[in-house]
Amino acid sequence: MSKRTWQPKRKKRMRVHGFLKRMSSANGKKIINARRAKGRKNLTVSVGTK
């Protein structure tokens, strides 16, 4: 049997899709602002504490 395709990593997920990553670029800020304007409950991916 081969491994499943989804091998979750919290740190990797936050570094790729997290709030700080979004805010570090102009286009990322546009994404955050668009989600705020739409009224999103979660602006970026949130991973609970360990």
Question: Tokens 């499943």 belong to which residue?
Answer: 4
Q: Is the pLDDT of residue 17 over 90?
A: yes
Return the biggest CA–CA distance within the chain: 46
Token pair listed for 27? 């286009």
Domain chopping of the chain, boundaries: 10-39
Whether the CB-CB separation of 28 and 22 falls below 8 Å is answered with yes
- Average model confidence (pLDDT) across the chain: 92
Residue 25's CB is within 10 A of a number of other CB atoms, namely 10
DSSP 8-state assignment for residue 42 = -
Whole-model pTM: value is 0.77
Q: Is the pLDDT of residue 6 over 80?
A: yes
